[in-house]
Structure formats: C-alpha cells, structure tokens
C-alpha cells in the first residue's frame, strides 16, 4: 500500500493547538470532510473503519483530512462485531 506523506499533525493535536472559539467555519469544514469520507467508505464501498477517532485522522500539506489505521476495518454486513477499536472510545453500552 502506498500512502501520501502527511507532514502535519493528527486531528487530535490540531484541535488542541489550533481550533479556538470563533473557528466554527473551520470546524464545519473539517467535520464535513469526515462525514464525506465515512459516506464514501460505508455507502460506496461497504466498509466500516470501526476505530474512528481524532488520532486516526491526519492532515496533509493542504489540510485535507486522511483516515489512517485500518486494522479493524471490516466489510459491512449483518454480523459485524461492534466491540472493535480503542476501548476508551467505546460507548458505555458497548463496554
């Protein structure tokens, strides 16, 4: 697999350092990129990431989001395991 080099930080670090009150437009743009990417994966390719978190989203040099860490990725079906991913991000009902 070949991936684009993303010299910028992951979204967790970016949010902690860069996003402040008044940056609603930037937050909206980043959120739309995440939603569009998830739609592309789930709807168009029937794949579920199962470990979406800020640390698994990086920014390229143009500040476009890239999803990484597909270790728990599965084909969407009726028998999917819902308890995969990083435990500290599980919903209480899953844990």
Which pLDDT score, from 0 to 100, does residue 39 have? 92
Domains of the chain, earliest start first: 11-89 (1.10.510.10)
| Residue 81, pLDDT above cutoff 70 | no
Residue 68 reports pLDDT greater than 70: yes
DSSP-derived letter for residue 55 is G
Straight-line distance from the first to the last Cα atom of the chain, in angstroms, rounded to the nearest whole number: 33
Q: Give me the sign of the Cα torsion angle 62, 53, 10, 20.
A: positive
User: Which pLDDT does position 36 carry in this prediction?
Assistant: 94
Beta strand ranges found along the chain (DSSP E): 47-48, 57-59, 65-67, 74-75
User: Residue 31: is its pLDDT beyond 80?
Assistant: yes
Mean pLDDT to the nearest integer, 9-13: 86
């Amino acid at each position: 697999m070949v991936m684009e080099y993303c010299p910028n930080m992951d979204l967790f670090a970016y949010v902690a350092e860069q996003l402040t009150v008044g940056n609603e437009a930037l937050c909206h743009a980043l959120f739309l990129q995440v939603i569009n990417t998830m739609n592309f994966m789930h709807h168009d390719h029937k794949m579920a990431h199962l470990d979406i978190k800020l640390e698994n989203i990086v920014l390229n040099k143009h500040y476009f989001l890239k999803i990484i860490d597909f270790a728990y990725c599965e084909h969407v079906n009726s028998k999917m395991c819902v308890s995969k991913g990083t435990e500290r991000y599980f919903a209480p009902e899953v844990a």
